[in-house]
Structure 1
Amino acid sequence: MTEASPPISARERHKEDVRTRILDSLIALLSEGIDINHDRVAERTGVARRTVYRYFPDHDALMQPLWDRVVSLAGGAAVRFPDSEAELTSSMLSIFQSFDRIAGLATIVRATPQGRAVRLAQKERRRAAYVSATADAVKELPPEDRLLATAMLQVLHTTPWLEMRDQWDMDGAQMATACRWAVETLLKDLRARGGKPLSDGPA
């Protein structure tokens, strides 16, 4: 028989409630295009500034849970950095369709200074994930070209969503088809070219 989990104390429920209110305030501020800092979060949440600092001690600590909340609203596990070359293409449909589900918020994250700050807070994690996922595909290129190829594969994986939505009225499924074709074409070229520099043109 599985033992029942111990009941949550009133104190723990209160702490979780405050944390949830802070996270909701972060989303509200982001949605309204308001710069995010501890003072604004405290004012919006209706808690003391020191309370916000107790839960989130610096600006980076605010950005990470905000990013996590955006990802959760988009679909949670469906929206993640790739952990392999295969996942570069296999994850596109679920990611683009997840962006469609939160189109307003996804647009804010990509098109406003506040949203870009949230994305930039993930820069090191994002770069590390794509470097790892593409390492085998780019390994024979000259070092500078490895960077260029990895960056282009990262851009094609999720970045076109806003442009293809705004300029071409596409939905996530259409975007995924186009971007998957582009990524597969580049990966095929990388496998064929060996160490031939990108400046020499297609393999």
Structure 2
Amino acid sequence: MDEDTTASGTRERKKDETRARIADDVIALMAEGRLDISHDLVAERTGIARRTIYRYFPDRQELLGGASTRVRELAGPGVRFPESEADLTGTLLDTYTGFDRIAPITTLMRSTPQGRAMRMAQNDMRVERYTAVTADAVKDLPQEDRKLATALLQMLHTTPWLEMRDHWGLTGEEIARATGWAIRTLLADLRSRGDRPLSD
């Protein structure tokens, strides 16, 4: 490996470390109940120059979105927006056991205004990704029902963790089994129902 390649790898690693450090502190501030997240507040917390934070995260939405991405990274490499219909079931075990591993942060994300702000910072990307991966499954539904079916599949892919854990004492593995069954059942129904509306 030549010196340029080594230096480039070192620079990229340092950038990744800085990005993660900023996002970790945004998460920590939100865990403290702060709603006033700003580049200035994060700079004060981290000791990283404000202009550097802007370079990584150009606006508040990017800052919150970066924290949301970081939560997925902390949960594990299999925790991500789906890239195919198969991912709707194929990533469930990684997702829900990953949520268990970082339960305090997952609870923050799922039950507080701060967590909602982090999730909503990436909502356009979320809607786009789930719409793309469910497009074939919902294509025969009446137009007004496609969004309903897509929203339900997205919800089952990530959202039930807190309720099923708190109310039923289920583990991530058990939640993955239950939601996997529900998603497979819905996809089978969508394949067989053709253009019948969801109300039938």
How far has the Cα of 1:126 moved from its partner?
A: 0.8
| CA distance in 1: counterparts of 2:117 and 2:124, whole angstroms | 13
Say whether the 8 Å CA contact 2:96–2:173 is kept in structure 1: yes
Query: Who is 2:123 aligned against?
Result: 123
Letter in 1 for 2:42: V
Larger Rg: 1
| CA distance in 1: counterparts of 2:114 and 2:138, whole angstroms | 33
Identical aligned residues as a percent: 57
Q: CA RMSD in A?
A: 2.4
| CA distance in 2: counterparts of 1:59 and 1:103, whole angstroms | 25
Say whether the 8 Å CA contact 2:96–2:172 is kept in structure 1: yes
How far has the Cα of 1:58 moved from its partner?
A: 1.2
Alpha-carbon displacement from aligned partner over 1:120-165 (angstroms, at most 9, x marks no partner): 1111111111111111111110001011111111111110001001
| CA distance in 1: counterparts of 2:173 and 2:160, whole angstroms | 13
Alignment length (residue pairs): 198
| CA distance in 2: counterparts of 1:15 and 1:25, whole angstroms | 16
Query: What secondary structure, in the 3-state scheme, does the structure 1 residue paired with 2:86 have?
Result: helix
Alignment of 1:8-23 (within 5 A): 19-23=19-23
| CA distance in 1: counterparts of 2:152 and 2:16, whole angstroms | 41
Please list every run of 5 or more consecutive structure 1 residues that lacks an aligned counterpart in the other structure: none
Give the alignment's TM-score, normalised by structure 2.
Answer: 0.88
Letter in 2 for 1:84: S
Given the superposition, is the C-alpha separation of residues 190 and 18 from structure 1 closer, same or farther in structure 2, using an over 3 Å criterion?
A: closer
Give the alignment's TM-score, normalised by structure 1.
Answer: 0.87
Please list every run of 5 or more consecutive structure 2 residues that lacks an aligned counterpart in the other structure: none
Say whether the 8 Å CA contact 2:62–2:121 is kept in structure 1: no
Query: Who is 1:37 aligned against?
Result: 38
